[in-house]
Structure 1
Amino acid sequence: MQLFLAMFFNVIMNVIDIYSILLIIYILMSWVPSTRETTFGRFLGKITEPYLGFFRKFIPPIGMIDISPIVAIFVLNYLIRAGVRQVYVIIASLV
């Protein structure tokens, strides 16, 4: 059971890492707007915009700079990752 739990935890952490990379790629694609019109750009938009849109509701752009993606990546990599780690520790201690 411990092995399964550890493997599941690693899969969740890898998914968070991959999603973070996809967010960064999507953000960098905004520097060349025509890249978002490609099939890959539209696919990334469908995956990342719901998450980024949540932060854009609360964090307005500063001039022409949108800082909501920075906050979104910070939340994903620090808060959500820490939450998943805490849940793992709690479940592992019960098993």
Structure 2
Amino acid sequence: MAPLIYFVFFILNALLELLKWAVIISAIISWLVAFDVINLRNNAVYQISRFLDAVTRPLLAPLRRVIPPLGGVDITPIILLLVIVGVQNFLLFPLRNTLLGILG
């Protein structure tokens, strides 16, 4: 039973890591587009941007309703990253250890 618990929590942690990188890359791309460094008319950039937006928008939208932009700067990606790291460090690993202690 222990290897299955380790595997499930490994997958959950890996998905959270991928989500962190998606938020970071999405924010960087949005800055590069805003400063006209890259252009969304480029098909590859557009496809990557749309994919990352589709992944991160459902998680950022509730935060954007609660947290207004500060001086025109959207800080919700930073808040989301803090939440993800908090889930990893303060929920995921302690939950895994608790399950291992209960189930042996």
- Deviations along 1:37-92, whole A, 9 cap, x unmatched? 611111111110010111111111111111111111001112x1121222212211
Q: 2:2 aligns to what? A: 2
Larger relative contact order (CA 8 Å, sep ≥ 6): 2
SS of residue matched to 2:31: coil
Distance 1:42 1:35 in 2: 10
- Ranges in structure 1 where 5+ consecutive residues have no aligned partner: none
Q: What do you get for the CA RMSD once the two structures are aligned?
A: 1.6
Find runs of 4+ consecutive structure 1 residues off by over 6 angstroms: none
Q: 1:30 aligns to what? A: 30
What displacement does 1:8 show?
A: 1.2
Q: How many residues align?
A: 94
Letter aligned with residue 55 of structure 1: L
Give the TM-score taking structure 1 as reference length: 0.89
Give the TM-score taking structure 2 as reference length: 0.82
Q: 1:45 aligns to what? A: 53
For 1:1-95, list aligned pairs within 5 A: 1-33=1-33, 34-35=39-40, 38-78=46-86, 80-81=87-88, 82-95=90-103
**Quick one: percent identity of the two aligned structures?**
24
Higher Cα Rg, which structure: 2
